[in-house]
Amino acid sequence: MACNGAKKPLLSGLVDSTSQRIDECTPYRRRFRRVKSAPVTELVPSDISGNGPIPCYESFFGGRHLSLKQVAVFLAVYLGLGTLCFYVVRDDIKGNKLNPILDSLYFCIVTMTTVGYGDLVPDSAPVKLLACVFVFTGMLLIGLILSKAADYLVEKQEILLIKALRRHQKLDPAAFLKEIETNKVKYKCYLAIIILSVLMLVGTIFLYIVEDFDIIDAFYCVCSTITTLGYGDKSFSTAYGRMFAVFWILTGTIALGQLFLYIAELFTERRQRALVNWVLTRRTTNLDLEAADIDDDGVVGAAEFVVYKLKEMGKISEEDIALVMKEFEDLDVDQSGTLSASDIMAQTTQTHK
């Protein structure tokens, strides 16, 4: 890759940038090479200097990712609209009724979380269709809550949990942040288990005292509710019970769903770490060097080796590399194999034409 037939490792400047020099006699363009010096900051336009806000990616719904406040607003609108609709058709809902407004809100929550005790059921075709609409929109909203609200509440308590677990150890700020980042999912699982346990304990005690269940039936009703089984033989049958159920059923079912998500994430993270450890500890062979030699020059440089290892770890793919190289080639206006401030300005000028 150097002149006179001498081979030079790709991106050798990553090891010793002071010894890097631009090779003008290279017969073909390098795919990877470090620029000799950093771009002159005065030449970089302010709109592309990186000081602006990071762009928000679009969500599944075509807009920007929903914030916690937006999810709360959607939940309030859903519960308000659902309560109003089921209140209007309350005569077409049969079962153990106590108070029209409370029953409507309770039925909305039971429908949303798919618990379906059976103590209140639709009794006409239009109301059954209405319940079908609300159960699907409710499940969608539960998904939004799981991805935003519950995760937000758990993360708020994460630092407190780590401090409690490490109270006998003195961690400096850097070590503390590293501990959070390394075991983040594990601590989330711990917190989700604690929250779920508290909710189950509170629910069992409430059913035992207010609904006059024996302790086994109270625990049985709690388990059948948070798992959304809703057998129907045990449910909330008092006004105070249903007021409590409005909040407890929603938080309990979400807490269980969040715990399952964290457990799945934890197993996925452990498998990924095991793969990374295997990639980093296994012996490198000649076949690996051949596979890592992107530009087929017989020498594997630092950049090529890093890219190859990241591919083995499953962190990037060939498509990712192709997209990045396409962007590099588009930015490299003078086709020198390097990027500089002049390339960026030329590319910006072409864009604005």
Nearest-angstrom CA–CA distance, 150 and 140: 15
Q: 263: part of which helix (H) or strand (E)? A: helix 239-281
Does residue 337 come out as left (phi exceeding 0), alpha (psi in the -120 to 50 range) or beta? left
Which residues does 347 contact at the CB level (< 8 Å), separation at least 6? 330, 331, 333
In a 3-state reduction of DSSP, which class is residue 105? helix
The pLDDT profile of the chain, 353 residues, written as one tens digit per residue, is 344 444 444 343 343 433 343 344 444 344 444 433 334 434 334 443 444 444 444 444 444 456 667 778 888 999 999 999 999 999 999 998 999 999 999 999 999 888 888 889 999 999 999 999 989 998 888 877 776 655 555 565 555 555 555 566 665 666 656 666 667 778 788 888 999 999 999 999 999 999 999 999 999 999 999 998 878 888 898 999 999 999 999 899 988 988 888 888 888 878 878 888 888 888 888 888 888 887 778 888 888 888 888 888 888 888 888 888 888 888 888 888 788 888 788 777 776 66
Nearest-angstrom CA–CA distance, 86 and 110: 12
DSSP 145-206: HHHTHHHHHHHHHHHHHHHHHTTTS---HHHHHHHHHHTHHHHHHHHHHHHHHHHHHHHHHH
Nearest-angstrom CA–CA distance, 192 and 261: 10
Cα 235 to its chain centre, rounded Å, is: 34
Tokens of 260: 């399952």
Whether this prediction's pTM lies above 0.75 is answered by no
Tokens of 57: 């990616």
**What pLDDT does 168 receive?**
60
R_g over Cα of the chain: 30
**What pLDDT does 187 receive?**
79
